[in-house]
Structures are given as C-alpha cells and as structure tokens.
Structure 1
Amino acid sequence: MKKIGIIGAMQIEIDLVLEKMVVFEESRIAGFPFYTGLLNEKEIVLTLCGVGKVNSAACTQILIDKFNINYIINTGIAGSLNEEVGISDIVISTDVTHHDVRKAQMKNLFPFQETFIASEELRNLAIKVCEFKNLKYHTGRIVSGECFVEDNMIKGNLVKDYSPACVEMEGSSVGHVSFINDIPFLILRCISDNADENASEAYTDFEEFAGNQSASVVFEMIKII
C-alpha cells in the first residue's frame, strides 16, 4: 500500500485531516509532531512543520527518511499574485520555486533546477476533486520565501519575475526536498489574501476558512489516490 505524507505549516491547516484520521501512533522528531494512521483506508503520516522554508525542508526530509513516504502533499493557505486568482480559490501547483534565491543560483548550483515540477498524477487528482466539489481552482506556479508578502511593490516584482499564481512560505522547500529524494509531490493552497497592503487583515478574516478548504481537497484526494 502506498504511504502518503501530508504536511501543513500551521495547526489550522491540518486540523480537518487530523480530526478525520484514525491515528495509530504519535511521535515527535526534532520538535515536529508526526501522526501515523489511516485516512479513507489509506496509510497516512500527517505532520506540522511550522512556518518558513527551513522548517518545512527539515520536516520533509524527516518524513521521507523515517516514514518511507511514497507521495507528499503540502496543504495550506497563500496570497494571490494573479488578478484572476481570488480569495477562497484553490491553487494547484504545476511547479514551485524560491523567490528569495537568485535564478542563476537555482540554475547553476545543486540541484540545478530553476523550478521543481509537481506530480502530474497528484495534480490531476486535485483537479478532479475540485471539479467534483464545484470549487474554483487554478493550476500554476507557486513561489515561496521567508517573508509574509503584504507590499504592492514586492508583489509587483514577484509577478514580473515569476508569473506565479500565488505566494507563501513553505511550498518551494517541500518541492525542493521532494525532488532531490525523487518523491512525487503536490503543493495545494487556498487563497486567504491578495499579498498587498490589506493582506494582514484579509488573512486574519479568511485563514481558518482557507486552511479548511485546502484540507478538504486533500481529504477527498486521499479517497481516490
């Protein structure tokens, strides 16, 4: 049976999945909690990585090394970087990259990738779920960095440089670590804000809804994976 790793950065991003899991074992490694059990009769390891790329990279590597994961899904919330991507919409990753690392460095230094390509199999499953649930969704690039974007100038530069659908703080490192370990991955986000001067207020209003919306897609994906 395939074993699926599910990663969220914040408690609100994993609560729905955790509530629906049958947990057999809870362990803690390097401060990260790992919940092993069943979800929709599939073997699952659910973990909470904390905010930021360093945390998510470390947690992803532990998930791979200690739990023999076959797939990784990173669920959570993000800020929109595209006028067509609205609050509460779902973004399904085609690829991910670090927006705070120079493109030349990404290309010329290990692992020699400007972006990390998400699993087509997992992406198609997410699309199928969104269409079944009649959710508005988008496929596209997700960019990550070690900051919460709430500035129109920064937002404009990200749009110009990367043409992304959304921005957040963990997905690219999950994709990076998955890539170097040859593990299929998907980054799934629900939009909580527009990554502008009103981002903090919108985030506060929509974070719980967005976290649950993204997790609900993951829950349905597990049924058919």
Structure 2
Amino acid sequence: MKIGVIGPTENEIMPFIEEICNKKVENVAMLTFYRGIYKNSNVVALYCGVCKVNAAIATQILIDKFNVTHIIVTGVAGGIDNILNIGDTVISTEITYHDVDEGILTEYHPWMESIYFKADSKLVELCRAVIDKNTFTQKIFFGRIVTGEAFISDSGRTEIISKYHPLCVDMETASIAHVCYVNNVPFIAIRSITDTEEECGVEVFENNCISVSNNSINIVKKILESL
C-alpha cells in the first residue's frame, strides 16, 4: 500500500511533509513530490496548487509515476451548511462540481450514472473508526463536498445549497475524485472549515488557513497510523 497525500497549498500540507521520514524529493511537471515513510506507511505527498487543473495534474502523476494505491486530500474549505463552525472538519462521502454542467459527467467521459463521485467506503469506515478511538478538538462531520473555482458570494451560496445541499465547498476535491474514479483508485478528502456565511471573505480565510489546516492533518496522521 502506498498513500498519496495532496494538499492545495504549502500551509495545508507542509506540517505533515515535515514529519515524513527518509524523505526523497522529486520534481515533476513543476511540482515537488516528497516520498518517504510516516508511521510505517509509504507515502508520497505534495502541495498541488490551487484549483482543479493543478489538482488533477498532481493526482495523475501520483498514480502513473509514483504508483500510489490510495489518495487522501487534506486541506481547508468554506462552510456552506450552517451546522459548521470555523475549525470543524468535513470528511467526504461524495463529491461533485458546482460549476460543471451535469451532462458533462453523465453524457460524456466518464459516463457516470450520477454527478457524484463516491469516496471509498473502506476509507470512510476507517475514518469513522479513527474518530471513535481518538479525541479531536473540533467537531467532525461526514457528507457531501462540492468543488468550483470561485470564492462563494451570497447569491452563489443560495444556488449551491438549492442544487447540491453540501456541507462545504472547495476548489480541488472533485477534480481529484474525478481522476481517482477513472483510474479506479480509492479516495477520500478531509477538509476543515476556514470561513462560514457569518464569517466570510478572503481575509477570514487567510487568517484561519494555517491553524485550521492542522485539524485536517491531525486526522490524516491518525488514519495513516491505523493502516
């Protein structure tokens, strides 16, 4: 088993990369991949850059060049459901795009039965077991994540809620799930909340990103320790 771990930005994954042992560094397609061991698990980790295409490039390279068998996404997200507070964590059960026409996924490659990519059921159950056995400072929720390349305004929020009813929104997860789907690679995403409807905007995101990222990373670590 070899686990690929993806974070969009340095802040969202470098605290994890710093703890990888026996690191070997390799550059591919202007991305830096860190191979090594974390708690007896073989891992390949990187920050892929923000937005969908960057995330997809990184994911395909992890699969093709580094032969990862599973992929975990760690990072932050914007809260959509009012149940969420800053610092809470969402673990994906299913993922889709909020800015791609539904027919693109069902009428063309990869000819999906629905617009939702399913997180791997075994990884979801492993996450549930890890949460039951450990104490985390934040609240943790399982549910739907949607992806699109925009910070969400009030009008955008209303439309997303009415169409998808997600817990949170980010800019990368669906594209990573998409690549994993067509390659038959098990996948899960762990995203912690930097901003909500009440506390929103780029400044709020930036102020919370580093501290909130650690909430996701701490769960990733426990997952890897449990494999």
Aligned partner of 1:122 in structure 2 is 123
Aligned partner of 2:87 in structure 1 is 88
Measured after TM superposition, the shift of residue 104 of structure 1 is: 2.1
TM-score (norm 1): 0.95
Structure 1 position 145 matched with structure 2 position 148: yes
Structure 1 CA distance for aligned equivalents of residues 50 and 161 of structure 2:
23
**For structure 1, which segment, 127-136 or 48-57, has the greater mean C-alpha deviation from structure 2 after superposition?**
127-136
Percent identity of equivalent pairs = 35
Measured after TM superposition, the shift of residue 108 of structure 1 is: 1.2
Q: Secondary structure at the match of 1:67?
A: coil
For the aligned residue pairs, the C-alpha RMSD in angstroms reads: 1.3
Figure out how many residues of one structure are paired with residues of the other and give that number: 223
Task: Spell out the pairing of 1:2-41 with structure 2 (5 A cutoff).
Answer: 2-41=1-40
Aligned partner of 1:213 in structure 2 is 215
Measured after TM superposition, the shift of residue 197 of structure 1 is: 7.4
Measured after TM superposition, the shift of residue 95 of structure 1 is: 0.8
Structure 2 CA distance for aligned equivalents of residues 156 and 89 of structure 1:
21
Residue number among 154, 157, 170 corresponding to 1:155 in the alignment: 157
Aligned partner of 2:77 in structure 1 is 78
Q: Secondary structure at the match of 1:20?
A: coil
Structure 1 position 175 matched with structure 2 position 177: yes
Per-residue displacement from partner, 1:68-125 (whole Å, max 9, x unpaired)? Answer: 1110001000001101122111100011111110112222111123111001111122
The residue type equivalent to 2:48 in the other structure is: C
The residue type equivalent to 2:151 in the other structure is: F
Structure 2 stretches lacking a partner, 5+ long: none
Q: 1:68/1:7 Cα in 2 relative to 1: closer, same or farther (>3 Å)?
A: same
Structure 1 stretches lacking a partner, 5+ long: none
The residue type equivalent to 1:103 in the other structure is: E
Per-residue displacement from partner, 1:161-194 (whole Å, max 9, x unpaired)? Answer: 1010100000000000000000000011000001
- Indicate conservation of the 8 Å contact 1:130/1:136, yes or no: no
**For structure 1, which segment, 78-87 or 192-201, has the greater mean C-alpha deviation from structure 2 after superposition?**
192-201
Structure 1 CA distance for aligned equivalents of residues 223 and 171 of structure 2:
23
The residue type equivalent to 2:176 in the other structure is: V
Structure 2 CA distance for aligned equivalents of residues 180 and 195 of structure 1:
34
Measured after TM superposition, the shift of residue 20 of structure 1 is: 1.1
Structure 1 CA distance for aligned equivalents of residues 70 and 149 of structure 2:
25
Structure 2 CA distance for aligned equivalents of residues 12 and 191 of structure 1:
14
- Indicate conservation of the 8 Å contact 1:92/1:187, yes or no: yes
Structure 1 position 136 matched with structure 2 position 139: yes
Q: Secondary structure at the match of 2:18?
A: helix
Q: 1:85/1:197 Cα in 2 relative to 1: closer, same or farther (>3 Å)?
A: closer
Q: Secondary structure at the match of 2:65?
A: helix
**For structure 1, which segment, 66-75 or 10-19, has the greater mean C-alpha deviation from structure 2 after superposition?**
10-19
